Amino acid sequence: MRKQTLGFLLVFPSLFFVGLIAIYPLIYNIFISFHQYNPLQSLEIRFVGLQNYQWAFTEPLVQYSLYVTLLFTVASVSLEAILGLFIAFALAKIEATGTMRIVKPIFLGIFILPWAIPTVSAAVSWRLIYHPMFGFLNALIGAQIMWLSDYNLALFSIIMADAWKTMPFFLFIFLAGIMSIPTEHFEAAKIDGASDFQEFRYIILPQIWALVLVALSMRAIDAFTKIFDMVYMLTGGGPGITTKVFPMLIYEYALSYFKFGNAATLAIISITISLIYGTLLLRRGLRK
């Protein structure tokens, strides 16, 4: 058998599968986005031209939802990255003392836990922590705060829970990066009498900066497109529309209101963002 044919045969089942589950919906979305299709009212699929797009670009709810999602992405990703970086640095420092062979695996074992726990499990725990009456957070700080139903706080509460859940991603990437820096650099710095801050700022940060950027950009698109479970479990998009992130908005138009034309248009907008962002990301990644 020719090598090329074999290659195609190996790839084909996955391609067929992805084609069916991802490309078919993509094409169907494009088709429906030019139509009105509200199966709760009528089964007719009526051509409406660009009307859905006109709606999407003028509807305040859509703009607000994109804004909330962007805010969530920037805030939670920065928080996670900063925490991950500090913890990785601290771990590297105690590792450098050489006598921490037992302690480090314990810390790592603890820090990986949030990543392992299903979002749904994490979310029910945060529901209890945030509970205004018998929640632990209010008891801890001695306040009466409605963490999940206050218009100004709900998004912040979701960001905290998400940062808790996703911090390990950055921690383990950064730790791997720091550990791969040749030890001569640190020894040279020590001889020169560099402080820990100088070591962090002038040795570690420049060495892992490329890694930081890659991790940030990968995690950012993930946060932007995959935020759903946590919001569904904690606030359901409320109070009002304050935490209605974009994936949730699409979900509601699709499977709560059954306004397929609108849902398809929002889906196309989201996929377009992913395509542009993903192409830039992958191009850069593949060029290296």
Partner 1 sequence: MRSKGFLLYISFLITMSAIILFPIVIMVSSSLKPEEEIYSVPPKLFPENVTFEHYFNLFAHFNFGAYTLNSMTIAFFTALLSTILGTFASYGFSRFKFKGSDKILFFILIIRTFTPVALLFPLYLLVRISGLLDTTLAIILGVTSLQLPFTIWFMKSFFDEFPKGIEEAAIIDGASYMNVLFKIVLPLSKPAIGVVIIFAFLAGWGDFIFSLSFSQTPRSMPLTIGIANMLTGYKIYWGELMAGGTYMALVPLMIVIIFQKYLVRGLVAGAVKA
Cβ(149)–Cβ(239) below 8 Å: yes
CB of 6 to partner 1, least distance (A): 5
Residue with tokens 């960001």: 159
Q: What single letter denotes the amino acid at residue 219?
A: R
End-to-end CA distance of the chain: give it in Å, rounded: 33
Q: Which residues pair with 50 in a beta bridge?
A: none
Report d(CA 91, CA 87) in Å as an integer: 6
Q: Which residues pair with 35 in a beta bridge?
A: 47
Report d(CA 174, CA 166) in Å as an integer: 13
CB of 178 to partner 1, least distance (A): 12
CB of 41 to partner 1, least distance (A): 16
Q: Which of 157, 110, 155, 152 is nearest to 130 (CA)?
A: 157
CB of 216 to partner 1, least distance (A): 9
CB of 157 to partner 1, least distance (A): 13
CB of 1 to partner 1, least distance (A): 7
The two counts, helices (H) then strands (E), for the chain are 15, 2
Computed on alpha carbons and rounded to an integer, the radius of gyration of the chain in Å comes to: 24
